[in-house]
Amino acid sequence: MHRHTKVLSSVMGVAALLVSALVGTSSASAASGALAPYDAKHAGGTVTLVAQAAAGTLDPKVNYTAEYWQLYQATYDGLLTFSYGTGATTFQVVPDLAEALPTSSNGGKTLTFKLRTGIKFSDGKPVTVADVKASFERIFKVSSPTAGSFYNGIVGADVCLKTPTTCKLDKGVVVNAATNSVVINLVAADETILSKLAVPHAVINPASAPSKDAGTTIIPTTGAYMYKSYDPNKSLVMVRNPYYKEWSHAAQPQGYPDQILYKFGITPTAQVTAVENNQANWAYDPIPADRLNEIGTKYASQVHVNPLTAMWYLPMNVNIAPFNNLKARQAVNYAIDRAAMVKIFGGTQLAGPVCSFLPPNFPGHVDYCGYTKGATPAKPATAWAAPDLALAKSLVKASGTAGQAVGIVVSDDDVNKQMGVYLQSVLTSIGYKATVKPISGNIQFTYIQNSKNKVQISVTQWYQDYPAASDFLDVLLGCASFTPNSDSSINMSGYCNKALDAKMATAKTLGLTDPAAANKMWGAIDQQVMADAPVAVVFTPKQLDFISSGSKNYLFSLQYKMFVDQLQVK
């Protein structure tokens, strides 16, 4: 039991750190970040959301996009979830379909939940422990993108990963219908398991849900809303779930609109115009650069800017020339003008330059920069100040890689392309023959992961899945995250430092008992990783939400961005 308290306190510790770090408030005010009581007089109406494109499959166990994870909060439920509310409260893991946070035993390797009773899916069938077990098996059957990284610690997961179609987690997820209990057995204690159980890939679907990606087929929901129709070329319609009855105001509160209509195929600039004209309540895509000033002046009261725990960065392939040379990678880090790239993104109100791998105000983050004028990785400054082109040129010369061809692979949207063009200019100025290779945003993210494509350097982004340092350092730069010749190799640099990997494993174990010490260790790992410079971190973006004048009760989740179901249009 003592151990259980420790396990839970590590998660709560992370949340507490974020309370003070992200919003600069005390824990007392974090408590005040709870969701306000439901106000029935504002219920009704249709919330219209607009986006350029749909985000693919609607299957919550397969989809890995911010666009739909935002919607899953109001539709699907897991045993646990991230809390509704404001500020750092939204990083807190709370019980959802489970009655309470799990009890932990066996050194943190066994988690015991009790499933709530009386909850029904949107097709009227009750949620049972059999659905819970089937849902965990379904993670592997549908080859969920995080099956191998988040849930590979469940007993039996190794077999499921090898033979997904016949996945059985009889020892990993043990259920008892009589007591309504669910026991999850882990191979080893995991400090971030509660966060992993709170993300959409761990939601509970009916046991009858298809054993493959459901695509556009609608899977019954448990939340306040269900999906009525989905046409990726046209729209997604969400309506109230007739079988929903609020069981936890923090986990799955009643929503305000009667219907949520998501329209697709609308260009970003048309989205802005639609919101300005009250034809839509919210625009999904980033506001085009030439509309920012307009909305920031004429519609300032409708604009909300929030911090994100995310980063824009440049993975450099450490296994092929020229970036298999440390000096070449460090040269890029010194050469890039992070302030200039912030300008391309929209200015200092929307992003801040950084050098560290862990974003500011994130667990383990340390204010340091080894790649700014006058600093070195061994003697870092506290923040990035200016590029050092002279040093970058000398490093390129010393590396013997000057004159080599470098292809910069970027997504073909406007901002990414502009970033690519800027990088091309910088890399040319320090001695490379650089070219920009813009490719469709639909494939760029997977293309740059596959080592077969021999991508030398690219521009990409990472948004946290859950608030823990391991979600950045271990997931993005751990040896296990590099799979040669695979589209699913999130360690795009192909960087593998066994010594640092061992340190990361130690930090994860330490996090179970002493989160503060673990975060200190993560901070040190961050600096050691950046001394090797497998990536160049550029800036931390902020989330800009533009809502219509007729929309009220804007609430922002640090985990899933705006709560669409809490928007009031009446």
The residues binding other proteins (CB under 8 A) are 269, 288-298, 300, 303, 305, 337, 339-340, 343-344, 346-350, 412, 414, 417-418, 420-422, 424-426, 428-429, 435-438, 544
Cβ 93 to other proteins shortest distance, Å: 33
Distance CA(542)–CA(342), nearest Å, equals 11
Cβ 421 to other proteins shortest distance, Å: 5
Cβ 352 to other proteins shortest distance, Å: 14
Phi–psi pair at 342, nearest 5 degrees: -65, -35
Among residues 530, 260, 275, which one has the least CA distance to residue 380? 530
Nearer to other proteins, 172 or 420 (CB): 420
Cβ 291 to other proteins shortest distance, Å: 6
Nearer to other proteins, 417 or 520 (CB): 417
Nearer to other proteins, 239 or 421 (CB): 421
Indicate if the alpha-carbon torsion angle 494, 55, 557, 273 is positive or negative.
positive
Cβ 90 to other proteins shortest distance, Å: 23
Distance CA(149)–CA(152), nearest Å, equals 6
Cβ 561 to other proteins shortest distance, Å: 18
Nearer to other proteins, 69 or 345 (CB): 345
Cβ 66 to other proteins shortest distance, Å: 21
* DSSP E strand stretches across 521-560: 535-546, 556-557
Compute the half-sphere exposure of residue 377: CA atoms within 13 Å on the CB side of its CA. Answer: 19
Nearer to other proteins, 158 or 294 (CB): 294
- 384-413 b/e (C-beta count within 10 Å ≥ 16 → b): beebbbebbbbbbeebebbebebbbbbbeb
Cβ 440 to other proteins shortest distance, Å: 9
- Taking each helix axis as running N to C, give the angle between helix 338-345 and helix 414-429, from 0 to 180 degrees, rounded to the nearest 10: 160
Nearer to other proteins, 426 or 468 (CB): 426
Cα-Cα-Cα-Cα torsion 488, 489, 493, 496, nearest 10 degrees, comes to 180
Distance CA(418)–CA(345), nearest Å, equals 9
Phi–psi pair at 523, nearest 5 degrees: -60, -40
Distance CA(31)–CA(94), nearest Å, equals 13
Residue in the structure block whose two tokens are 């019980």: 95
Nearer to other proteins, 163 or 293 (CB): 293
Cβ 442 to other proteins shortest distance, Å: 13
- The tokens for 56 are 């693919």
Nearer to other proteins, 376 or 435 (CB): 435
State the DSSP code for 85. Answer: S
Nearer to other proteins, 165 or 348 (CB): 348
